Amino acid sequence: MSILDKIVSSIFGRAKASEVAATPAKPASPAASAASAAPASASAAATATASVDVAAVLSALASQTTEKLDWRRSIVDLLKLLDLDSSLAARKELARELHYPGDPDGSAAMNVWLHKQVMQKLADNGGKVPDDLKD
C-alpha cells in the first residue's frame, strides 16, 4: 500500500468508524432489511466517503494527543498524527508517488509541496478540505 493510500485510508477510515459509532441502530422488519440491504449499504458507503470532513477528523484526532502537532501546515506532523512513518525516507517515497518536480532532499519546499498535494488528493478522493489547505 502506498503512503498516500495509507493517509487516505487512515483519515477516511476514522471518519467512517466515528460515523458508524454515532449512528444508532434502527430496527427494521426482516423483509425490508433483506430487500434494501445491498443498495442502502452501497449508498451509505458512497455518502460517507463523499462527506468526510478532513479538517474535523484531523482536529478531533489532534485533540486526543498530548503532543502538539501542527498538522495544518506540516507534513511531518500530519504523518505523526496519523501514526504513520514521518521519516525523510518516507517523505521521499511520498514525493516519488506524487511526482515531486524538485530535488527530494528533504527541503522545506518539498515538505510544503507534499502537504498541499496530500490535502488536494484528499479532496480529489471525496474529502471536504478547506481551501486554505489545498494547493
Q: Which of 1-10, 54-63, 69-78, 103-112 has the lowest mean pLDDT?
A: 103-112
Domain of residue 102: give its range. 3-133
Q: Which of 7-11, 48-52, 131-135 has the lowest mean pLDDT?
A: 48-52
Q: pLDDT tens digits for 22-76? A: 444 444 444 444 444 444 434 334 444 457 999 999 999 999 999 999 999 999 9
What is the model's pTM? Answer: 0.75
Looking at the structure of the chain, the number of domains it has is 1
What DSSP string describes the chain? Answer: --HHHHHHHHHHHHHHHHHHHHSPP----HHHHHHHHHHHHHHHHHHHHHT-BHHHHHHHHHHT-SS---TTT-HHHHHHHTT---SHHHHHHHHHHTT--S--S--HHHHHHHHHHHHHHHHHTT-B--GGG--
